[in-house]
């Protein structure tokens, strides 16, 4: 069974969107890292104050999809839904 990996960037339009990421990210990180099937989950700032590097790894497709479903209706998901994401997903 191959793990699922997501890698890419979260790209804010401005510092206002970046402030939303900063506000909601700590809870999002904690909830995601506690999920069954989460192997690693990191969202780290880059040299650009409006760009974050995103690296996720889940045990399998089912755990990845469960994560995606939870996030879509979470506070993080609602607050950041308008922020651009450029991700590559492998292992699905």
CATH architecture of 4-90: 2-Layer Sandwich (3.30)
Contact present, 26 and 17 (Cβ < 8 Å): no
Distance of CA 87 to the CA centre of its chain: 10
- Residue 4 burial (CB < 10 Å; 0-12/13-18/19+)? buried
User: Is the Cα torsion angle 64, 69, 72, 74 positive or negative in sign?
Assistant: negative
Give the tokens for residue 81.
């839904």
The residue-averaged pLDDT of 7-23 equals 98
Closest CA to 83 of 30, 28, 21: 21
Closest CA to 91 of 39, 52, 42: 39
* pTM attached to this predicted model: 0.91
The residue-averaged pLDDT of 65-70 equals 96
Domain boundaries, the chain: 4-90
Q: What is the pLDDT of residues 72-81, one digit of tens each?
A: 999 999 999 9
3-state secondary structure at position 3? coil
Comparison of pLDDT for 1 and 73, the residue scoring more: 73
| pLDDT at position 1 | 66
Confidence of residue 92 (pLDDT cuts 50, 70, 90): confident
């Amino acid at each position: 069974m191959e793990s699922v990996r997501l890698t890419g960037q979260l790209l804010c339009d401005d510092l206002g969107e970046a402030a939303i990421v900063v506000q909601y990210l700590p809870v999002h990180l904690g909830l995601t890292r506690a999920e069954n099937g989460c192997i690693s989950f990191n969202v780290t700032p880059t040299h650009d104050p409006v760009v974050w590097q995103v690296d996720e790894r889940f045990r399998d497709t089912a755990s990845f999809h469960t994560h995606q479903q939870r996030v879509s209706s979470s506070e993080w998901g609602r607050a950041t839904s308008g922020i651009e994401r450029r991700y590559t997903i492998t292992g699905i």
